[in-house]
Structures are given as C-alpha cells and as structure tokens.
Amino acid sequence: MALTQAGLSEGLPGLEKLIYLGSIDFEPIFFILRKDLESQVSENLIESFSKLRIGVGSIGSGTKVQFERLLSQDGDIVKRENLVNIEDKVAAQALLAGKLDGLVLVDGIESKNLSLLANTPELVLLTSPRAQAYRRRLPYLSVLEVPEGSINLKQNTPSKNLDVLSTTTALIARKDLHPAVQFLLMKTAVKINGTGSFFADPGLFPRFEDSNIPRSHVADEFYQKGSPYLQLHLPFWLAELVDRLVLVLMPFAALAYPIIISLPKYRFRRMNRRNWGGYTKLKALETETAHHYEPAKYPAYLQLLNELEDQAIKGRIYGSVGADYFRLRQNIHFVRSRLAQHHQRVTDTGSMTWCGQLFY
C-alpha cells in the first residue's frame, strides 16, 4: 500500500494492478513569495510565478508534478531555468536566505515549513484568484479557505482570507491485497482521519475523490454500509473467522435446509403409515369375517385385534397424529365388540354365515 497525492496517477501505465481505497486528508498547495515582489504577481498567479526564481519541489516529487500540471492549463510547458527543483526543507531555508523569490509548498497548514515561512514578515502567502477555474479543469483538486489570522492571530497571518488549491492524500494498494487488510486500513483511516482537521470537519474523511485508479469494492461497501454487524460486537479476528465460516458453510446449509424442513413431515408420514397399516389389517379382518367367518378362529381373530392394539399403544405419537391414533384405538374396540356380538349370534343359532358387515 502507499500514500500519495491525488492526481499523480493520470496517464501512468499499469493502473489496473492497483486499487483506490479513498482519500484521507487535504494537501493544500501554498504559494509563498517575498513581499517586495508581490507587485509582480498578476491575476494569473501560476504564470507570474513561473517567471520568478521559484522552488517547485524536488524531481519526482508531487509538488513539481502539481505545479507543472497547473502551469499546463495556461499553455505548453517549456523548460524554465528559473524553476528550481529543490526539496521543501532546503527550499524554505533558501527562501529565507534570499536565494529564491518564492516557493510552491504542498504541505499541511500546521507543518513546520509553513509555520516558519508564514510567520516571517518578509514573506507573504498568496491567494489563488482563479482557483475555481483550476478546480473545474482538474477535478481531483479542491478549493479551501484559509481565514484571516488563522495561522497566527497575534500577527494576523494571513492578513486576509485566502483561497488555496488543494489536492488530497490518496490511500492506494495492490489489487491482490487481502480484503480483510483493506478493511482494517479503512477502519484505521476512520480512527485517525475521521476526527477532523483544520480544513476537514469530523467525518469528512476518508472518502472517494476523483481518481484514475479503480476503486476498491471493499472500500466502496465500507463507505455505503460502514462496519459489518459482527465487527461492531466481536474482535476483528473472531468476526473475520465467523464471516469466513459462514461463507464455507452456506453451500452445506443450502443442501441441509430442505432436509431439515422435511424431517417433521417425514416423521408425520412415518407415524401415519403405521396407523394406516393398522387400518389395512383391520379391514382385512373385517372382510374375512364378513364372508368366511369360522367360529373356531374366534380366538385367533381376537388375538389379531389385541396385537393391532398393542402395536398402536407401543408406538410414539406427536401432535396432530394423536387424533389418528385414538381413532384407530376406537375402531379396534368397535370391531372387537361387533365380532363378539356376531360370534354370540352364530354360536346361539348354529349358523355359519354372518349376515351383515362391520362398519367404521
């Protein structure tokens, strides 16, 4: 991962290998000049600066790139000997020593370099008259206001409200960075940069600004939904473990769910089949005794009814199956009583035919 200035990636190859996690703070672009040269600066601040002996940052620095990009909006960039490539700290000392006319400084408003230069009476911070125009042309830029006296109230520095252009600090990473690490980076950015700063109200950062780098899906989801529910109540390592386990177990749950749902129905059908089997045997007994009744088999008939009743009694019943269970018991009792009545009639009359049929 890396922290870089927004806008530096424009035109670079291989950006598809990176992801943009968001911007975490402003990086104002200050134009500092010797006060005795202030009359030489016109409304076109950038063009005026380019004609003076100005420190524009070291080669490869974001300061140099930002100034050249601003200068390119006014025309073609030409090599100017008066633009000095010099590191910020060295440039600040050179400006104080009179070796430079001015300085382009991309730094925080509370930085040591800016504090030193802004509180030097011989130097002046310049406003950017056409800041909004540059912002429209370079969407990654913002326009910030430095209120009068905000740097030093005693010396009233600056002496008037200033409009300054600003880029942002972009948090970028390799595309293959683990999502859990990306999420930790976002939480850390909220903890450190979400509390606010001189230019940023609390909660303003981190956020997405204009960027040429593809946005991270993890960061996008974080900005929309915030921390996942588990992260709010569990340590990070445990929440991540549970989250991964859920992803692994979901396919198994998809297979197990229909099985679990069908278990109560299966048990219900299984118990009903036992009752239905009792009814089948009871009907067979009724049919046999109705057409081929043999008094000598009366004890066997009773034995069969007793076995059916014992089987019904030993079986477990649940819920609504109980109604079928007690109906089966009632019907067994009914068939037993009708069988006893018929056997009595046959025995008394000596008849071998049972005229009549048992009904439920």
Q: For the residues of 345-360, what is the DSSP string, one character each?
A: HHHHH------S----
Q: Which CATH class is domain 2-227?
A: alpha beta
pTM: 0.65
Task: Please report the pLDDT score of residue 222 as a whole number.
Answer: 87
Q: What is the pLDDT along the chain (360 residues), one digit of tens a residue?
A: 999 999 888 888 889 999 999 999 999 999 999 999 999 888 888 888 888 999 999 998 999 999 988 888 876 555 677 889 999 999 999 999 999 999 999 999 989 999 999 999 999 999 988 999 999 999 999 999 999 999 999 999 999 999 999 999 999 999 999 988 998 899 899 999 999 999 999 999 999 987 889 999 999 988 888 766 666 667 767 777 777 777 777 777 777 777 777 666 666 666 666 666 677 777 777 777 777 777 778 888 788 878 777 777 776 666 556 666 677 778 778 888 877 877 787 777 654 443 344 444
CB atoms within 10 A of CB 219: 24
Task: Please report the pLDDT score of residue 355 as a whole number.
Answer: 39
Residue 81 contacts residue 89 (beta carbons within 8 Å): no
Residue 216 contacts residue 173 (beta carbons within 8 Å): yes
H or E segment to which residue 71 belongs: helix 62-72
Residue 172 contacts residue 204 (beta carbons within 8 Å): no
How many whole angstroms separate alpha carbon 245 and alpha carbon 233? Answer: 17
Amino acid of residue 170: A
How wide is the angle at C-alpha 345 spanned by C-alphas 344 and 349, nearest 5°? 120
